[in-house]
Each structure stands twice: as structure tokens, then as C-alpha cells.
Structure 1
Amino acid sequence: MKPHPYDHRWRERCDRMKAKRARRMNRDWEYRWRVRHRWHQRWHHQHRRFNHSLGARLIAVFIVLACASSAILWWSEDSAAGLLWAVPALLLVTGLAFGAIRHMVQPLHALALGAEAFRRGEFSHRVPVIHGDEIGDLARRFNQMAADIQAMLDGKRALLLALSHELRSPLTRARLHAEMVDEGSSRDALLDELAQMRDLISALLESERLGVGHRALSLADCDLAALAREQAQPSVALHIEAGLPRLKLDSLRVQLCLRNLVQNALRHNDAAQGEVQLTLARAGDGVRLTVRDFGPGVPPESLTQLGQPFYRPDEARTRHGGGVGLGLCLCRLVAEAHGSRLELRNVEPGFEVSLTLR
């Protein structure tokens, strides 16, 4: 039947066919775009993985070096003077490969410096993140580890300071009450125990104060010879060189160091073999302080741990014979705060501690 001029059904049918064709074209374009976008994403993903992987980039450098070297050698065979330009070209390619590899592994030196700083206890040091690869991730983890350790040490320091301050008041009251007890062995033993607790708290407070290094010191002209003579007693022999220079030191902290070194030497000295030797001698523009005893020494494996808080060798674990392990720690902190280092070594016979003050 012939369509009526005003019948729009045929136009609607044509519009539907056009819309269907347009949707098909849109789907085809969207499919092609998705495929292209997927390959584009894969390319960027693999590119990021390649840039992040140090091993992949090293392999790529070696492959380029091998291909370039092979090409230079192949081209050099076609001419009699090939070796005249092949050798410099090979050296140039090798130099470029060496420079690329050196640039990639350069952050390892920064990591080594950071590890050395952390070994010295400098947890404020931060390793620079040079590349965004595996070494960069390792540097970020190094820095995070240093921050966590520093936060843990700060928390420990704050806790020890708070506990030490809080314990001083009841300890003082306990000592006052103990002094009111009738004289006798029990009273003397109680006062002795309270004195040991007081010394322990004082040592803890002093170690935490010295933990900040040079900032804890009150420097002034100091006569080391006069401080050494204060340690004179029947079992201590003094050897003081004449004309020692006066140094800028914290006299109270140096006196504490001398007292701890001498007491530690007296505690372990064998008086039958000799007296404790306290020596002051000029060392360049400074003074070298040495304390030696004639005791049994310490096991060689314990030398590296001496000076750590609360560490005592197996032979000195009793309270009477070995203390609590803070004496040498305080001496080490005093030496480091003055820019020096506590040197510990076994001698035949005995044990020797020395440091140089400037």
C-alpha cells in the first residue's frame, strides 16, 4: 500500500535505523578507545616498573653496551683502518655505560653514610632520596626507621627522667626515717641500700642529661691536674706531667668521670700486683687521661659492649663487685660530650681506660 503523505512511520523507521547505526559506530569507537587506552596503561605500568627496578635498568645498560660493541666491531671489519676508530668508539661506549651505572648506584654511597651515622647514634641524620627506584624506597625506609628509633629513645628518656624525679622525694623521706632508727647493723645496711638507690637515680638523671651531648656542658677553664689530685688515696698512684695546659671543660662532669674510673679500677684491682695508676700526660694541644688497674681484665668479646647502659661482664654481675653498669656509661657520655672517645683495652695484667681532652 502506498504510504500516505502525512504518515510519519517511515520517517521514524529511518530515524531508528540511523540511531542504531550511530550506536554501533559509537560502540566501535569506544571499543577501539578502550583497547588503545588499555595498551597505553600497560605501557605506562611497564615503564614505571622498569624505572623502579635497578636490576632491569642495569640489564638494559649491559644489553645496549653489548649491541653497540658488536656493531662497532662488525663495522670495523669492513675497512683496513677500522681499529683506528673502533678502539676509541669502544672506549667511549664503555665510558658512557660506566657513567650510567655510576649514576644509578650513586645513592648507595648515601645509604652507607646514613648507616654509619645511625651506628654512631645520630638518628637525626636523614638519607637523601635521589631516585624513585628500589634504592629510593630503601632510603625512605631508612629515614622512617631513624625517626621511629628517635621517637622511642625520646620516650624512654622522658620516662626515665620522670621516674627518677618522682623517686627522689620518697627516697629522701625514707632516708630521714632510717636515720631515726636506733644505731646498729640493720640501720647501717638500710642507709647503705638507700645510698645505692640515690646514686642510681643520680646516675640515671646525669646520663639522660648528657644524652644531648655538648649542650649539657658548662665549659670553663679547668685544671685537670687539680681534679686528679682530688682522687689521691692510699691505693691510687698519681703520675701527672708538669706544665699541663688549662682546658675549656665542664669540671663537674670531668670530676664525675675521674671518680667513676678510679672507683671502677679500685673495685677490680688486685692490690697484690700493684696500685691503680692514674696518669695525666700531654697529647698535642690536649691532655691524655689514663686509668689502669691490675685486675683480671674483661673478656675480649665484652670490650665492644662496655660503656653501654646497665651492661656488666659475667665476672661482675654481683652488686658488690660489679655495680649496676652505669659508671662506664657515664664516663663514655662525658667523653663524647667533650668531643673525645673512651678507649677501653686489656693490658697484661689488668685493664686500662683512657681518653684525650682538648
Structure 2
Amino acid sequence: MKLRSTYTKIFLSFLVVLFITEILVFFLFILIPARHFAVRFEEFFRSKVQSVKGIAEDKILSSPGAGLSENTRLKEFIADFGTVSGAQVWLTGPDGRPALKSFSGEPPDLSGASGKDRPRRNRFFRFFALKDYDVHTVIPLTPAGKFAGDLHVLFRRPASSPPTGLFALGLVMIGTVVALAAIPVSRLITRRIRQLRVSAALIAEGDLSHRVVVRGRDEIGDLSRTFNDMADKVEGMIKGGKELTANISHELRAPLTRIRIAEELLHEKTAGGVTNAEDMATHLDGIREDVDELDGLIGRILDLSKLNMGQSPLRPEPLDPSDLIGELMERFHPVIERKGLRVAADLPRGGSCLADKETLRLALKNVLDNATKFCPEGGDISVHVAWEPDAAGIRIMNTSEELSREDLSRIFDPFYRSQRSAAAGSGLGLTIARKAVERLGGAIEAANRERGLEITITLPRQ
């Protein structure tokens, strides 16, 4: 079964990590004290066994003629040592049979355990760590350099075992408390994610003004800020699309209205029997001009749409903008001559920048078209190309009245036309130029100069 709730996934992941952590803590609690006990116990015996060995050997030497079982002093020492140490102590002779012991009954049979558990050898004793924390130590007695027997010391596991059960219960209780505390933490994390989901649903339903309340500077806070940035861009794109549609409708309606009026006039004159050829030619010429205007407007709209959608792949190649500007100036020569414009061109040859030829041509054509269209009759146009180590700068200036700050800030917006301009235009030329230049990785800006309006295009050379 798949988990769909982020809250459930976070909570279960936390429980798994907590469970693994508690298991590791439990085993560390079991292993570390046991190892510590064994090490400390062995250190204790290293310091004490030599003295016990020396005392026992002195007791044997004090009664040289007596056997081990008949040595009263040795017997009392073994009994006292067993009482003080709380261990079972017995002495075996050279034949391995018990001679003395500190307890009643037979000595425990540890042959199987001693043979199974590997002893830790020392120059004074042999140390056996048996099961259940039992420890069996064998101390060889060698008074005067002669082996007399083995002194056995057996420490039994204490009746009270380490509190592993209580510790495990404590871990379970701590884990339960931590797990319960994790519930509000998990809900706090998922609450902000749910708010993002609700905001996305509201925007999807059409509430483009809705934004997420940003809380914190963590990853979810960054996601909320990114979400709001995306919502701002989406709202701007949709509003821009609506404005574009309204502007296109307005621009198409004007020539269509003129065509309709011309058609009605022709129809009335034809129906009334008036067939003045000159009058009809005038109306037909007007229709033709309006059709050309519609065709040009639709062409610009298509160019803008292609640039926005990036449909045409770029084919970068080394280009000299001076060559393209020269070609375009030839196309605009009839307009320049008809309006009596003075053109000053500074087009140094030999430089090149890596760009798509058609996209760059589209940008330059629209800027030059804007300059020739809005330059008054008898005005000046200057075109200047400058080369920098890593960029090419193109400046196109035309005679113009000084534009306001609002005009300069909106001059590249679609369908925007300055109120001071008397020339007709679609308001798309500089918009297309900006899109084309930005697609080439360059920048375009407009500024007032002493002699008019200057458009500056900066293109990277590589």
C-alpha cells in the first residue's frame, strides 16, 4: 500500500530512525559495561593475585613436613580468603585432587567450561571468563621453586543481574514520548506544504492575485518565495496576453473599418450608376493600403510570437553587423529620400560577432524602421558601430523630441506609442527588436540625446 500523505511519511521515517537508534543504544549499554567489567576485574587480579600466591606459598613453607590437607594455617587462609572475597576457593594437589576448600560439598566440575573457554594466561595465574559472568582463576603454587598444587578461585554471577530490562523499558518510554512530540512537529512541516497546495489550487481556479504567506528561511520558505515569484510571472504573462489580445483587436479593427467604409462607398456608387474611374481608383488604393497595413501588422505579430515561443532554432555564425546595416539602409533608401533625411553612418568593417543572421537582421530592421518612420522630414539619422574586446555596440539615433521617463520606460512594451508622436505605427517594432536582441544574448536600451532618441544594441562577440 502506497503512502500518499507527506505527514505520514515524515512520521513513519522518524519512527524508523528512532527505533534503530534505540536498538543501537540498548546493545551499547549491554556490551560496553560487560567489557568494562571484564577489563577492570582482570586488572584487579593482576594486582592481587601475586600477594595471594605469596601468602599461600608462605603457609606451605611454614609447615614443610605436613601435607596440604593437614596444613592448618593454609586451611584457615583458604577459608578466610573465600569468606572475604565471596568466592569458592579450593586447593588441588599435584595429582589434581582437592585437598582443601572454603565451602562444603564437592568442588564444581569446570573441566568442560575451562576446556571450551580460552583462558587468559599470566605468569601468576590462568583466567577463565565463563558463561553467565562466572570467573574461574587458577593460581599455581610453587614454594621454593617446587610445584605444590593449584589454588582455584571461582566467582559466581551475582544474584541481581544488570538492569537491562529496566533500561529497555526506559528506552521504550523515552521513544514513546519523543514519538508523541514528533506528531506536532510533523504537522507543522506539512501544514506549510498544505498551504502551498491550497494556494496552487486557488491560482488554478483563476485567483491570480493570491500569494503564499512566507514563513521562515528554510527550504519550505524558499519554496514559498519561489512559488510567489512564479505566480507573479504567471499573472504578468496572463495579463500581458490579455492586453496583447485587446491591442491586436484594436489595431486590426481600424484598417478593417476603413476597408468596410471604402467597400460601402464603392457599392453605393456602383449601385447609383456612378462609375468615375478616378474616384473608384482612390477607394481601391485606400483598400490596398489598408490591406498592406494589415499584412504588415500580422507579420509583426507572427515575428513577436515566434520570438516569444522560441520556435526557430538559432544558427550562430560569424557576422559583421556593418554589412547587415548597409543592406538594410538600401531597403530604406526610398523612405529616406522621400522625407529628405540626412544619414551619417560610421560602419567600420572587419569585426565580427557570433549571432543568428535572421534574428539580428530582424532586430536591426525594426530599429531602423522605427528611426526612419518617426524621424521628422529633413531630420537626421546616425548609425554607429563600435567594437570592444568582448562585445559589439550599435547606436542608431534619429531626430526626435525629448521623451518623458514614462515613454523611455515603456518604449519597448507591445503596442505602446508615445502621445507626442504624430507618425502612425503598430507599436511592435521596438518590442520585436528587444525580443530578438535578448534571444541573441544581448541588451538594448533607449536614451534621450541632445539631437534626439538613441537606441543602443550591445551584442556579445562570442
TM-score, scaled relative to structure 2? 0.41
Contact residue 391 and residue 458 of structure 2 kept, 8 A: yes
Pick from 251, 259, 276: which aligns with 2:365?
Answer: 259
* Residue in 2 that maps onto 1:6: none
Q: Is the 8 A contact 1:52 1:132 kept in 2?
A: no
> Could you tell me how far apart the structure 2 residues matched to 1:228 and 1:350 are?
20
- Structure 2 Cα separation of the partners of residues 42 and 225 of structure 1: 72
2-structure distance, mates of 1:311, 1:356? 23
Give, in whole Å, the separation in 1 of the partners of 2:323 and 2:230.
47
Higher relative contact order (CA 8 A, sep 6+): 1
Distance 1:248 1:49, change over 3 A: closer
The answer for unaligned runs of 5 or more in structure 2 is: 1-175, 193-213, 267-276
Answer yes or no: is 1:298 the counterpart of 2:403: yes
Correspondence 1:75-94 to 2 at 5 A:
none
| CA distance in 1 between partners of 2:219 and 2:321 (Å) | 53
Letter of the 1:184 partner, please give it.
A
Alignment-derived partner of residue 226 in structure 1 = 323
Q: Where do residues 305-324 of structure 1 align in structure 2 (5 Å cutoff)?
A: 305-316=410-421, 321-324=423-426
Residue 211 of structure 1 aligns to a residue whose secondary structure is helix
Over 3 Å counting, the alpha-carbon distance change for 1:147 and 1:283 in structure 2 is closer
Among 131, 135, 158, the alignment partner of 2:218 is 131
- The match for 1:204 is 301
Matches of 1:310 and 1:339, distance apart in 2: 24
1:192 and 2:192 aligned = no
Structure 1, unmatched stretches of 5+, are 1-36, 54-126
How far does residue 351 in structure 1 lie from its aligned partner after superposition? Answer: 0.4
Cα deviations across residues 127-167 of structure 1 (Å, max 9, x unaligned)? 9x97366x35732642651684498489879x97xx99xx9
Partner of 1:350: 452
Q: What residue is the counterpart of 2:443 in the other structure?
A: 341
The one-letter code of the counterpart of 1:207 is L
Tell me the equivalent position of 2:30: none
Contact 1:265 1:292 survives alignment (8 Å): yes
Q: Output the amino acid matched with 2:218.
A: H
Supply the distance in 2 between the matched residues of 1:255 and 1:348 (Cα, whole angstroms): 28
Secondary structure of the equivalent of 1:342?
strand
Q: Is the 8 A contact 1:214 1:338 kept in 2?
A: no
1:9-20 alignment runs, 5 A limit: none
User: Tell me, what secondary structure is at the counterpart of 1:185?
Assistant: helix
Residues 276, 292 of structure 1: 8 Å contact kept: yes
Distance 2:342 2:223 in 1: 56
Match in the other structure for 1:142: 228
* Cα distance change of structure 1 residues 280 and 46 upon mapping to structure 2, 3 Å threshold: closer
Greater shift, 213-222 or 347-356, is seen at 213-222
Contact conserved, 2:306 with 2:312, CA < 8 A, in 1?
A: no
State how far apart, in whole Å, the 2-side matches of 1:236 and 1:255 are: 22
Alpha carbons of structure 1 residues 305 and 137: separation in structure 2 relative to 1, 3 Å: same
The amino acid of 1:266's aligned partner reads: T
Distance 2:348 2:219 in 1: 60
Distance 1:212-1:295 versus aligned 2 partners, 3 A rule: same
Measured in 2, the distance between the counterparts of 1:154 and 1:328 equals 16
Whether contact under 8 Å (2:320, 2:349) holds in the other structure is: no
SS at match of 2:372: helix
CA–CA distance in structure 1, aligned partners of residues 413 and 283 of structure 2: 34
Residue pair 2:322, 2:349 contacting (<8 A) in 1 also: no
Shift of 1:258: 2.1
Q: For residue 221 of structure 1, what is the amino acid of its counterpart?
A: P
User: What TM-score do you get using the length of structure 1 for normalisation?
Assistant: 0.51
Distance 1:226 1:266 in 2: 19
Match of 1:34 in 2: none
Matched residue of 1:254: which SS?
Answer: helix
- Greater helix share, 1 or 2? 1
Deviation of residue 184 (structure 1)?
1.7
Higher strand share: 2
Please state how far the C-alpha of 1:308 moved relative to its aligned partner.
Answer: 1.2
Q: What's the CA shift for 1:356?
A: 1.8
Measured after TM superposition, the shift of residue 241 of structure 1 is 3.8
Cα drift, residue 267 of structure 1: 2.5
Contact 1:299/1:313 (8 A) holds in 2: no
CA deviation profile, 1:166-220 (whole Å, cap 9, x unmatched): x9xxx9xx9xxx9xx9762111111111111111111111111111459643333
Q: How high is the sequence identity, in percent, across the aligned residues? A: 22
Alpha-carbon shift at residue 236 of structure 1 (Å): 4.9
Please show how residues 241-260 of structure 1 align to structure 2 within 5 Å.
241-260=347-366
